[in-house]
A and B are shown apart, each in its own frame.
Chain A
Amino acid sequence: SAVISQKPSRDICQRGTSLTIQCQVDSQVTMMFWYRQQPGQSLTLIATANQGSEATYESGFVIDKFPISRPNLTFSTLTVSNMSPEDSSIYLCSVDGGPAYTFGSGTRLTVV
C-alpha cells in the first residue's frame, strides 16, 4: 500500500497566521483527501484534491480558509488560513492505498 509522508508533524501557531501542511506519497494517486480531527472527535472530510483541477470542498469548508494545491500525482498541500483557536486540530491527508485509505501520520496544530 501507499506510504505517505506528512509534515510538519506538529506546530504551535499564532492566531491570524497561516500554516501549510504537505503530503508526499510514494506512488502516483488520482485523488488525495484532507481530513480534520478536532480534539476528541471523529474525522471529518475537508476536501478532495484531484491533480489538475480545483479541490472539491465538503459542506462547511471553504477554499478561502483551506486552500489546497495538487501540482502533481504524488503531492498536495493544505493551508489553514487566518487561524483561530478553533482551528486547533489534527489534520490528516489520505489516499486510496488499496484496499482502503492510507493516512498520513497527521499534523497536530495548536493555535494560541
Chain B
Amino acid sequence: AQKVTQAQTEISVVEKEDVTLDCVYETRDTTYYLFWYKQPPSGELVFLIRRNSFDEQNEISGRYSWNFQKSTSSFNFTITASQVVDSAVYFCALSEGGSGTYKYIFGTGTRLKVLA
C-alpha cells in the first residue's frame, strides 16, 4: 500500500543553518510522482517540486535542494542558509500512476521553526 513517512515532527534551527527534512515512501508501482508542499502559518499549500520515479537527478532551486534515492525510497529536502520566512509545515506527498495527478497521499508533515 502507499505510504509516506515524515519521521521528523518538528525541527528548530537558528537562522542561516542548513536543515534537511526527511521523507520516506512506500509504493508497489514503478511509475509514481513525489511532491513537496509548504504550508505557512496562513494555511495555504504552496507547491515546491514534483519528481517522477524515472528521474533520480537531484534538483536545486535557489536555497532549496532535493535528493531522490530510489534505493532507499527517500526524497529528502534541504534548505540551505535557512531564513525566518522558511518557518512552515512541509509536506511530502506521493501519487501513483502514469499521470501523477491523482489521489495524493500526504505524509504527516514536518514543522520547521527558524529562529532569528
Contacts and interface: CB of A to CB of B under 8 A. Distances in A.
A108 B108 contact: no
Contacts of B35: 100-101
Interface string A93-105: 0001111111111
Given A99-B50, A100-B35, A42 B44 contact: no
B63 to A, nearest CB: 20
Given A99-B50, A100-B35, A100-B50, A45 B104 contact: yes
B101 interface: yes
Contacts of B43: 90, 105-106, 108
Contacts, number: 46
B5 to A, nearest CB: 11
Nearest to B33: A100
A85 to B, nearest CB: 20
The prevalent SS among residues of A at the interface is strand
B73 to A, nearest CB: 18
Interface string A18-31: 00000000000001
The B contact surface, by secondary structure, is: loop
A92 to B, nearest CB: 7
B108 A101 contact: no
Interface in B79-106: 91, 100-104, 106
Interface residues of A, number: 22
A48 interface: yes
Interface string B103-114: 110111100000
Interface residues of B, number: 18
A31 B102 contact: yes
Interface in B41-75: 42-45, 47, 50
A9 B100 CA distance: 29
Given A105-B43, A105-B44, A43 B103 contact: no
Closest A-B pairs by Cβ, 3 of them:
A103-B45, A96-B101, A43-B106
14 contacts: A1-B47, A42-B91, A42-B106, A42-B107, A42-B109, A43-B45, A45-B103, A96-B102, A99-B47, A99-B50, A100-B50, A106-B43, A106-B45, A108-B43
